[in-house]
Chain A
Amino acid sequence: MKTIPVETTINGDSTEFLCHADESLLDVLRDRLGMTGAKEGCGTGDCGACSVMLNGRLVCSCLVLGVETQGAEVETIEGMAKGEELHPLQRVFLEEAALQCGVCTPGILVAAKALLEKNPDPTDTEVRYWLAGNLCRCTGYDKIIKAVQIAAAEMRSA
């Protein structure tokens, strides 16, 4: 099978890569572009560890084909901090111990950022349902929900 050339934008940078037609965006990010922030937890869109934004929409990158990003804008965890400056969500997650092993954290941060961009003042229930597609096995979610709310409050007052 021949590879297909793709031109896209990732975290604001224009990016070119070659991939097979059946390669997922997750495979492209991890294996072709060396961006291992998005994780494969299941490969079937059930765990959310591979969450990225595609044209402003939260998606599981394991369910998106690499070729689908032609001409699109992709945002991954690698683009969340600006140089040394962490996004408030990232900083608050650390302050509130909202991660233990951290493997689900990139997906949850991407998802939480997407939520707060849509709804800057969610209820706990809204946060929990929005994050229902992101599995975490270590924390029991409690500190994650609290961290999202604390970051949301900080972002609203900024």
Chain B
Amino acid sequence: MAFDAQAERKFKVVGTRVARPDGIDKVTGKAAYGADISAPGMLHGRILRSPHAHARISSIDVSAAEQLAGVKAVVTGADLAQPEDDFFADVAINCLARDKVLYDGHAVAAVAATSKAIAKQAIRLIKVDYEILPHVTDVDAAMKPDAPVIQEGRALETVPAGMSQNVTTHCQFGHGDIEAGFAKADKIIERSFKTAATHQGYIEPQACMASLGSDGRGEVWCCTQGQYMVRANCAAVLGVEESQLRITASEIGGGFGGKTSTFIEPVALALSRKSGKPVKIVMTRDEVLKATGPTISTSMDIKIGMTKDGRITAARGELRYSGGAYPNETVDMGAQAAFAAYDLEAVETVGWNAMTNRPKEIPYRAPGAPTAIYAVESVVDELSQELGLDPLDVRLMNAARKGTLSSYGPTFNEIGLVATLEAAKAHPHYVAPLGPNQGRGLSCGFWFNFGGNTCVSLNINDDGTVGVVEGNPDIGGSRASISMMAAEELGVPYDKVRTVIADTSSLGFNDITDGSRVTFAVGLATIEAARAAIKEMCRRVAKIWDIDEEAVLWEDGYAKPAGPNAGEHPPMSLAEIAAIAGNTGGPIAGHHEVNADGAGVSFGVHLCDTEVDPETGATKILRYTVFQDAGKAVHPDYVEGQMQGGAVQGIGWALNEEYIYGEDGRLQNAGFLDYRVPVASDLPDIETVILEIPNPGHPYGVRGVGETPIVPPLAAIANAVSRAAGVRMTELPMSPPRLLKAMTG
């Protein structure tokens, strides 16, 4: 659906800062999140997890647990179906292991009991006989021919013969003559980088309440980014029909991609089926870190050649990612995003994924891109430094723009990179003076953004208010933005519109809330649904006025005659039309179902000033500015919120957050004390500059904004820290011990 290039459309609602519909509930503690509801007769579920990084399960004896008073059901992998499809088979095994455990924390069995205390006691009574196997947690080690094999026969056809069975995918992108390009360079820098796995760090642990009868009919309440995804996974893993499961999404306490899969819902359903009662499972924080879905861990080599005036002549990257103990294709996206910001004659990116004994990777905001771009932007910065060039000018000289052949294949349309770079260059932050031990860094960032399957139903209520029913959990304020777009299109005040999120039985299929897709795709579907309702209202009015449908137009919330030939008719408001809907044909509604495409890519630039303490290696962030192209900022507060939140997650990733594995292959820091996310005192204000270069694929020009902001911070901070510390950092996170070691040599 194309951009309404009506010259200078004056938005009345879109672009303003309205109140959110869930606001009062959230500031008073009334809002119901995943763990906040209970049901009569409810049992408490608890999961037993492997203490070993890699082991064969010889036997599981649940008899003692079953006999404990208060225990009503015990399940193991054998209680789940074995789906044919690889994707669902992996989901099933990850929910409850079968023959092998693949990582520290892998679920092995579960109990449902009448109290939390009894459930906790019961899992300790389950006897599991493990045959411990050698393990590997490092991606490079996992690729060696003699590495312990995590799973056999999982390699795709793109992997060359003779490699370790842990290598599951190989990809390659790019164009041009690389060697010729390097030959033209005045300076070439080649660097290797390593990044640790991180976690989305949502404050709300996964939680659900599930009920499944022996007739295969079930209900689930859970915090999720996609109730339809939960339905599909649960149906496959339990061997029931999707239509028999009704999944309701609770309010969600953060997701960022980490709640786009299922870990506990199928287990809760299995326990409920066996016990005949509803079962509630809430993950503890250490379970969340050990057994949900962190990011990939990486090892990367980047080689870039540049002329002495700053033109990149060739660029090559090799990315080795590990998505945990299962096959994973996140490296495809990393490899495509790596050089996306640049206009290059010769570019090549090669990607590999290798399995390791770590939990299954699940997306985290722009999956694959932050680490790849961190490596590329670090080398571009180092080249700028070595050649004595202004790093922003170097980006501008090489920036992708309309007509650039991208490094991942297509030619770019209208994109906002140059505008964001110029905004950064013109900003006072860029020229603010720096003191001793201080450094400034910048980075470009990029994300694809997606559309996807979307259904919206829009109902004109008999009192002239409007109800919008959509199917995407609200993780960033989307209900308000959706209501705003409906209000804008219908020409009614914002507070006349209420948007709710449907359960899976109440609306057609919707893809998960991911890919920065909701404001774009659900917005687009809402606009179409509103237009359909408008068409119907005009049709009714045409009948009342006894004129042709084409002679009625809609403006500012009223049906009006289209011109003098249509006759003299006083305009009819939406409320007036709604009040007599029963007389004119029945209730009035519009709906729209679409697989939306045309989401625009979005670019961002971050500027960061840091100060490094030479005695402790600690980094202080002095100043941080985020520049991003939003296409059209429907609700500017929420766009700013995404920019600030994503930037701070990136700051954590760059400076402190990491999964630390011991020699025994076990996660050493499975809690918020030692998995150190940014706190308020770590940070300055995060300044934001929103640019609006409309996306031609959306009627209001909207681009997705949620993911791009996590991409630039890793390199922006690495570049700032490297300059402040006087040494190029090539490993993340740049925690104080690492920085100190690098500085003191």
Interface of A toward B, CB cutoff 8 Å: 1, 20, 27, 30-31, 34-44, 46-47, 49, 76-78, 80-81, 86, 90-91, 93-97, 99-106, 109, 124-125, 127-129, 131-146
Contacts and interface: CB of A to CB of B under 8 A. Distances in A.
B29 A41 contact: no
A43 B673 contact: no
B27 A105 contact: yes
A30 B35 CA distance: 9
B29 A78 contact: yes
Contacts of A76: 29
Best-buried of A42, A78, A136, A139 by chain B (most CB within 10 Å): A42
B253 interface: yes
B672 A139 contact: no
B33 A39 contact: yes
B27 A39 contact: no
A36 B250 CA distance: 14
B252 interface: yes
Contacts of B117: 1, 20
A140 B686 contact: yes
Contact of A49 (B27, B31, B203): B203
The 3 A-B residue pairs with the shortest CB-CB distance, nearest first, are A37-B29, A103-B253, A102-B26
Given A97-B637, A102-B253, A140-B647, A44 B285 contact: yes
Contacts of A132: 679-681
27 contacts: A27-B116, A31-B38, A34-B38, A37-B28, A37-B30, A39-B253, A41-B204, A47-B285, A86-B27, A90-B27, A90-B28, A99-B23, A100-B645, A101-B204, A102-B22, A103-B204, A105-B26, A127-B680, A131-B679, A137-B203, A137-B256, A137-B649, A137-B677, A140-B648, A140-B686, A141-B678, A141-B679
Given A36-B32, A137-B202, A128 B671 contact: no
Contact of A101 (B252, B649, B686): B252
Contacts of A81: 27-28
B671 A136 contact: no
B641 A106 contact: no
Given A20-B117, A145-B680, A140 B203 contact: no
Given A49-B203, A139-B644, A145-B680, A44 B672 contact: yes
Contacts of A37: 28-30
Contacts of A145: 680, 685
A140 B647 CA distance: 7
B648 A141 contact: yes
A112 B306 CA distance: 51
B341 to A, nearest CB: 23
Nearest to B635: A97
B29 A77 contact: yes
A77 B28 contact: yes
Interface string B31-62: 11101101000000000000000000000000
Contacts of A49: 203
A125 to B, nearest CB: 8
Contacts of B284: 43
A46 B26 contact: no
A37 B200 CA distance: 23
Contacts of A27: 116
Given A46-B673, A94-B19, A100-B641, A140 B683 contact: yes
Nearest to A144: B680
A129 B681 CA distance: 5
Contact of A135 (B33, B205, B476, B672): B672
Given A40-B35, A90-B28, 6 more contacts: A36-B32, A46-B673, A78-B29, A127-B680, A128-B683, A136-B203
A47 B24 contact: no
A125 B683 CA distance: 10
Nearest to A145: B680
B17 A97 contact: yes
A138 B200 CA distance: 10
A145 B644 CA distance: 13
Contacts of B27: 81, 86, 90-91, 93-94, 99, 102, 105-106, 109
Q: Name the interface size band of chain B.
A: 35 or more
Nearest to A90: B27
A138 B28 contact: no
B29 A40 contact: no
Given A105-B26, A140-B648, A36 B285 contact: no
Nearest to B648: A140
B310 interface: no
- Of B38, B200, B644, B646, most buried by chain A (CB within 10 Å of CB) is B644
B80 interface: no
B253 A128 contact: no
A100 B680 contact: no
B712 interface: no
B138 to A, nearest CB: 27
Contact of A139 (B19, B29, B253, B641): B641
B285 A42 contact: yes
B477 interface: yes
B638 interface: yes
Contacts of A131: 679-681
A29 to B, nearest CB: 10
B260 to A, nearest CB: 15
A100 to B, nearest CB: 5
B681 A128 contact: yes
B475 interface: yes
B300 interface: no
Contacts of A91: 27
B17 to A, nearest CB: 7
B20 interface: yes
A95 B116 CA distance: 39
Given A77-B29, A101-B252, A139-B644, A42 B672 contact: yes
Contact of A86 (B24, B31, B641, B679): B24
A103 B254 contact: yes
B641 A143 contact: yes
A44 B24 contact: no
Contacts of A39: 33, 35, 203-204, 253
B645 A137 contact: yes
B201 A137 contact: yes
B203 to A, nearest CB: 4
A47 B681 contact: no
B282 interface: yes
A128 B205 contact: no
A142 B29 contact: no
Nearest to B474: A101
Contacts of A42: 285, 671-672
B611 interface: no
Contacts of A141: 648, 678-680, 683
Interface in B504-562: none
A41 B26 contact: no
| Residue from B27, B253, B255, B685 whose CB has the most chain A CB atoms within 10 Å | B27
B26 A135 contact: no
Contacts of B658: none
A91 B662 CA distance: 47
Nearest to B288: A42
B251 interface: yes
A100 B27 CA distance: 11
